[in-house]
Chains A and B, each alone.
Chain A
Amino acid sequence: MDINPLVIFMAAIFTSNILLTNFLGMCSYLSVSKEIESSAGLGMAVFFVLTLTSAINYIVYHYILVPMDLIYLQYIIFIIVIAAFVQLTELIIERFSPVLYYTLGIFLPLITVNCAILGVSLFMIIRQYSFIQAVLYGAGSGIGWLLAILALAGIRNRLKEKYLPQGMNNAAISLIITGIMALAFIGFSGVAIIQ
């Protein structure tokens, strides 16, 4: 596919944001978005894992699985690659930011089963991206996810002092906000990229 990788990168952040248009990666997005700091931390971790795993998965898929005719192994291989990189991210965060490590708690290892990550790896195969396209798509999706969770965390923070009808707290209002945010992001598709 002959699309400028930068266009893919920008599209992954805005017009086809993995979270707001595909609604992938919702569970940690909803649960960790209470504080801006921990959202930023988790967002960075997702960005890191997404970028690296899309690169590695691309190489593994095109240079090992395709030539050997083992495409059907892609799901399981992608998942172990993701799991390993999440472990690596955990080690890095524990070393350099123990506070973030404890704040993220269970949600850090849970990135392994974050469907956004597997989704990106599978999309890049289906859409037949080149290596550069795939990596930028991964990185863009990571930034897009980070952006979405930061936006939600910001809004939720402001909502803290506001009165909300009972039953509207937490998940319910977050989902409504996410829907409105998704609508707003669709607005980006009207933006033309000047070549």
Chain B
Amino acid sequence: MLSLIINNVVIFAGIGGFLALLLVIADYFLANYGDCQIDINGKKKLTVKGGSSLLNSLAENNVFIPSACGGRGTCGLCKVKVKEGGGPLLPTERPYLDADELKNGVRLSCQVKVKEDIIISIPEALFSIRKFKGVVETIIDYTYDTKGLVIKLIEPAKIDFKAGQYIQLESKKYAKSKQVVSRAYSMANCPENNNVVELIIRRVPDGIMTTFVHDYLKKDDELYLTGPYGDFFIRDTDTDMIFVAGGSGMAPFKGIIEDLYKKESKQHIVYFFGARTTEDLFLVDEMKEYEKKMADFTFIPVISQPEKSPDWKGESGYIPPLLDKHIRDPKNTEGYLCGSPALIASTEKKMKELGIENVYYDSFG
């Protein structure tokens, strides 16, 4: 009996072992692409080990391409122009590329594997994106489901950015998630305070990152983030500006308004901040302060469910119908929107109807 069992085990293990060896050898020869070179904008050359994705190879060398899905090919943010190398276009990339991009060799860097020398071009601004180590300095409760986070930067100790840009915050493993994810959040501080990163994070039920921040993160915890990313910042013009935010869409505007105040802007600015009830409103007093301190700034909080807040005296309902009254000259007005895709879509539509041509937005979608 014993010999039978031993026989079984030996045969089984022997065959399994042989096959495993075969696969290891095959893996060594087939999945080994040697050292490959990545040429960026003809200026920088990186030598990387072939076989991993372009996105990761670049990140390992401190060149950070925006990515919200962590390389799963679902966000379409990690676009890079590949001039040579990179292999054929994959079916996973096609849905995220329009005709122009296809013609110009734009690819999703998380899907392209570096298997040969490759020449790419990326916007110069991406070079200034860094990975930062920071420590949580303050956690503020803005509302029952929205927290403010102030992260003091340690290494590097300063971040150069434009008000309105965003960073990618990296979570840590915690009791309910064995996964580390990174998510994009707008910075709520102004560029003058460049030794901290301030974020406004609203809880998403069962969200890996927001649960981490809301339930597990404590003062003095260390965190990693990369940035700055994005082109949601105010253009250098003298036009009137209309800001529209919903919920944690407050973040970029808080930074932008602080920045405009410091620059002593005289522009005509109206800021609509939408929330469901008065309980969802925050930073109202701070914004009202700016109304007093700035030349021509109006802050209008709007709640969409006034029946739940009977004491509310301000504006209520939807934001788009309220815009008319505050636009002096549509041709000379820019719109900046940040919030849910629905809010952005309806506001943008209204703004275009009113004749505002330049509408910029940052969607949570």
The answer to whether A binds B is yes
Which chain A residues border B19 with CB–CB below 8 Å? 80-81, 84
A65 B11 Cβ-Cβ under 8 A: yes
Give B7's nearest chain A residue, CB to CB: A68
Compute the total of residue contacts between A and B using a CB distance below 8 Å: 52
| Choice from B8, B15, B31, B88 contacting A98 with Cβ under 8 Å | B88
B23 A87 Cβ-Cβ under 8 A: yes
Give B112's nearest chain A residue, CB to CB: A98
B27 A70 Cβ-Cβ under 8 A: no
Closest chain B CB from A184 CB (angstroms): 32
A95 B31 Cβ-Cβ under 8 A: yes
Contact-residue size bin, chain B (C-beta under 8 Å from the other chain): 20 to 34
B15 A60 Cβ-Cβ under 8 A: yes
A77 B91 Cβ-Cβ under 8 A: no
B31 A102 Cβ-Cβ under 8 A: no
| Choice from A60, A65, A91, A102 contacting B27 with Cβ under 8 Å | A91
| Known A95-B30, A98-B88; contact A88-B22, beta-carbon cutoff 8 A | yes
A73 CA to B5 CA in the complex, in Å?
12
Q: Does B295 contact A (CB under 8 A)?
A: no
Which chain B residues border A87 with CB–CB below 8 Å? 23
Which chain B residues border A27 with CB–CB below 8 Å? none
Proximity bits, A101-121, B CB within 8 Å = 1, else 0 = 011000000000000000000
Which chain A residues border B15 with CB–CB below 8 Å? 60, 64, 77, 80-81
Which chain B residues border A164 with CB–CB below 8 Å? none
Q: State the majority secondary structure of interface residues on A.
A: helix
Closest chain A CB from B12 CB (angstroms): 7
Q: Does B16 contact A (CB under 8 A)?
A: yes
Which chain A residues border B214 with CB–CB below 8 Å? none
Proximity bits, B4-25, A CB within 8 Å = 1, else 0 = 0001100110011001101100
A interface residues, Cβ below 8 angstroms from B = 60, 64-65, 68, 70, 73, 76-77, 80-81, 84, 87-88, 91-92, 94-95, 98-99, 102-103
B interface residues, Cβ below 8 angstroms from A = 7-8, 11-12, 15-16, 19-20, 22-23, 26-27, 30-31, 87-92, 113
9 more contacts with CB within 8 A, not counting A77-B15, A95-B31, A102-B91, are A70-B11, A80-B19, A88-B23, A91-B23, A91-B30, A91-B31, A92-B26, A94-B30, A98-B90
